[in-house]
Structure 1
Amino acid sequence: MPRNPYYRGPASDHFDGTRFFNAGGSTDRSLRDVLRWRLSSRFARWPARVDVSPAVPQPRVPECVVTMVGHATVLIQVAGLNILTDPVWSERASPVGFAGPKRVTPPGIRFDDLPPIDAVLLSHSHYDHLDLRTLSRLHRRDKPLLVTPLGNDTIVRRTIPDVRAIVGDWGAQVEIAGNVTVSLVPANHWSARGTRDRRMSLWSGFMLRTPKTLIYFAGDTGYGDGEIFRRMRHDHGAPDLALLPIGAYAPRWFMEPQHADPAEAVRIMRDVEARQAIAIHWGCFQLTDEPREEPPQKLQEALAAHGIAPERFRALEAGAVLELS
């Protein structure tokens, strides 16, 4: 059995002693599956660049303001704290700077316009979510607290040895400030930085709770049978806001276990009974086959099919701001 370079701990219902796994089924794909996808599918043509109007956030806000940066990167300003999800300011989601998926939209906040960052919620190790270059810039400037599932701290410490990190398993709850907590919740996904470390660090979503607000950041997730989302509603209550992925879903035979499509994102919203939702994981990096504008269009179709008002689940372009009343 191969050695896990990131984490050592006892076996559990989602860890076999070497690799983590999903209770609802496998997300693994073989080399034959990858070749079938690449040989049978064609990426839709995306624009080379989509201009945005970057926001300039206030240094602090007392209530809740959410700014879309791009892909899974969102600035959450709540209860006087500034929190980033899966921060990526690099031009490419890749281990190298000269190849790999390239940004189509620039960041919705210029890095130098970021307010002081207190905490980072890091969902898993894929390069479009765990960007060491951005984490290094944030550490040099703000030294934010990093909250992440098991094993990802090891990856980060190889580049940032003195990172302030709190690491947890699914179900863990950590306090990031007085009366503000983060709970790590399951996701249907996987992890890897290379070809030999598949599922050796854990993936998760997060429930961010303040005295007035509950925010669910799903990270990357497939829908599966929906049980993990119904369990979240039972365990944590109904979120005031959910950040839910709607992109990187085509072709479905390949992507369904690991990436929700827009219709499934609406099912997640319904399962957790979120009051409002923002779409993430679309329109920034071309990772799969669907056209860039298709996820928001299909989201509107799914909302209409369920009789949900479109303003309750918005696909915001980078730089757009939502004030949560």
Structure 2
Amino acid sequence: MKITRRRALGLLAGLTAAIGLPSAWINRMKTYDGPVSDHFDGLRFFDPDGVPPKSLAQVFSWQFGSGRQRASWPESAPSPHADTPPARIDGGKVRLSFVGHVTWLIQTAGLNILVDPVWSMRASPVSWAGPKRRNDPGIAFEALPRIDVVLVSHGHYDHLDLATLSNLAAKFSPRVITPLGNDVTMRDADRAIKAEAFDWHDRIDLGGGIAVTLVPTRHWSARGLFDRNKALWASFVLETPAGKLYIVCDSGYGEGRHFRRVAQAHGPLQLAILPIGAYEPRWFMRDQHMNPADAVKALADCGAERALAHHHGTFQLTDEAIDAPVIALGEALDEAKVPRERFAVLMPGQVVEI
């Protein structure tokens, strides 16, 4: 197969979204500068319980290896649901609306919180190539209530969407809570983005009795050619009147240590939001993305009362079929003798209240 320049750039855009492959056409970016710690060596962040990201040689082995089996996704997979959220939710209830991929609107105690907001058509550094949305956001951007807080887990393009963050800043000017270094990326793109950067285990008061703690997760980060692991990544524990929500936007499973530590430090957990997609081929993806069987083990490890699935069905980042994660999750739950209703799968636009 002939690889044209346009095809090559499109491929790199897709890889950047899926695994943070540095993009050769992006110039050097400003990066985090801070003191050495047990997960920062003065130049790059690392997970003491994790593994380094895959090498460029391994990337090309995956992409161009003769045995690759990449499932074909439909051009469009629309959800029959669409949500028009209320202006606010007061009292002790929590309303969670699934926007798609890893984007959620969480409403509780008078606060409106977005998680990893991506309204762009592509999870990519360019608008003309890279993974394309297969379904519309479950909430139209124009239908959003006033947003008070945004949580951004890390810098990969399917999580940190600068166009969406700029639009949110222009319309609502929310606080943006993110791990160390991602604030540099945001402010370098748009000074109006009110980014606040924090380290693992930092607890931030959001007001109204709501707080969020950044917790370690098994992943990594990159956006440009020179910034691999120069910004931190994290999961979130959100304290709400209905209990604690554990929000895992991207994570490998490893030996499950991170999930058990969250249970020990922050339990009991009312709800875990866990990724189930972007996991094939396993030899390449297992260290950064859980498969559904891993997610079921993670639910057991963290001890949450129930779970919601995400990170599937919107952007084709890896090789599995569009419906494979949901099918495999059901099988894994049955194998573990966990009731399927304990680990629910929503479509964009569907809502859960606790």
Give the TM-score category using the shorter length: over 0.9
Is 1:173 the counterpart of 2:203 in the alignment?
Answer: yes
- Per-residue deviation at 1:4? 8.6
Matched residue of 1:277: which SS?
A: strand
Q: Is the Cα–Cα contact under 8 Å of residues 18 and 200 in structure 1 kept in the other structure?
A: yes
- 1:282–1:295 contact (8 Å) kept in structure 2: yes
- Give the aligned partner of residue 14 of structure 1: 39
Moved more, 64-73 or 211-220: 211-220
Q: Which residue of 1 aligns with 2:76?
A: 49
- The corresponding residue for 2:8 is none
State how far apart, in whole Å, the 2-side matches of 1:44 and 1:238 are. Answer: 39
Of stretches 295-304 and 51-60 in structure 1, the one that deviates more from structure 2 is: 51-60
CA contact (8 A) 1:208 1:215 kept: yes
Q: How many residues align structurally?
A: 322
Name the amino acid aligned to 1:122. Answer: V
Residue from 299, 304, 310 that aligns with 2:329: 299
Summarize deviations over 1:17-48 as a string: whole Å, max 9, x none: 00001111314111210111112313201010
CA distance in 2, matches of 1:120, 1:270: 28
**Alignment RMSD:** 1.3
- Structure 2: distance between partners of 1:299 and 1:153: 34
Instruction: Please point out which of 129, 132, 136 is paired with 1:102.
Output: 132
User: Structure 1 CA distance, aligned partners of 2:241 and 2:114?
Assistant: 19
Give the residue type in structure 1 aligned to 2:244.
L
Say whether the 8 Å CA contact 1:4–1:200 is kept in structure 2: no
| Equivalent position of 2:89 in the other structure | 61
**Per-residue Cα deviation, 1:286-321 (whole angstroms, up to 9, x for no partner):** 000000100011111111111111111111111111
Distance 1:263 1:135 in 2: 33
2:50 touches 2:219 (CA, 8 Å); kept in 1? Answer: no
Q: What residue identity is the alignment partner of 1:82? A: N
Q: How far apart, in 1, do the equivalents of 2:235 and 2:211 lie? A: 14
In the TM superposition, what is the alpha-carbon distance from 1:77 to its structure 2 partner? 1.1
1:228 aligned residue (258, 269, 274): 258
2:89 partner SS: coil
Match of 2:248 in 1: 218
Q: Which runs of 4+ in 1 moved over 6 A?
A: none
Distance in 1, Cα, partners of 2:145 & 2:342: 27
Q: Helix, strand or coil: the match of 1:263?
A: helix
The residue type paired with residue 56 of structure 1 is T
Q: CA separation in 1, counterparts of 2:240 and 2:205?
A: 10
Q: Distance in 2 between matches of 1:212 and 1:189?
A: 29
Is there any run of 5+ residues in structure 1 with no aligned partner, and where?
Answer: none
In 2, the alpha carbon distance for the partners of 1:17 and 1:219 equals 26
Report the AA paired with residue 74 of structure 2: P
| Distance of 2:41 and 2:256 partners within structure 1 | 23
- 1: CA distance between counterparts of 2:235 and 2:105? 16
The code of the aligned residue for 1:48 comes to E
Matching of residues 1-325 of structure 1 within 5 Å: 5-40=30-65, 41-52=68-79, 53-62=81-90, 63-324=93-354
**Residue type matched to 1:322 in 2?**
V
Compute the TM-score of the two structures, normalised by the length of structure 2: 0.89
Give the partner amino acid of 1:64. V
**Letter of the aligned partner of 1:228 in structure 2?**
H
Deviates more, 1:304-313 or 1:155-164: 155-164
CA contact (8 A) 2:154 2:178 kept: yes
Write the distance in 1 (CA, Å) between the matches of 2:241 and 2:120. 34
Give the partner amino acid of 2:63: R
